[in-house]
Amino acid sequence: MKTRKAAAMSLLSAGPIELVGRRPQPVRATGYSPLELERAGLTVEKGRALGIPIDTERTTGVGANVLRLRELIASR
């Protein structure tokens, strides 16, 4: 059985995650939030130009998603 951290890491490798619930559980998100893009040094327009999935309805920022975005930018 996977630990919570291992489950979150496997989700993160597939794409953005969102933390949901009173005891935050990681779930797969449809895209990165504008806040996460901003913290990674991108605008929404630049993110769309790079082909990054963006969910403008999300308002939260998950630090792991910001780190993932920075890795994506560095690899391009």
pLDDT tens profile 24-65? 888 899 999 999 999 999 999 999 999 999 999 999 999 999
Write out the two tokens for 45.
């327009």
**Amino acid 34: pLDDT:** 97
Model pLDDT for residues 12-21, shown as the tens digit of each residue: 677 888 888 8
Reported pTM: 0.81
For residue 69, count CB atoms less than 10 angstroms from its CB and return exposed for 0-12, middle for 13-18, buried for 19 or more. buried
Secondary structure (DSSP) of 36-57 = HHHHTT--HHHHHHTT--B-TT
Q: Where do the structural domains in the chain lie, given as residue ranges?
A: 4-75
Q: Helix, strand or coil for residue 75? A: helix
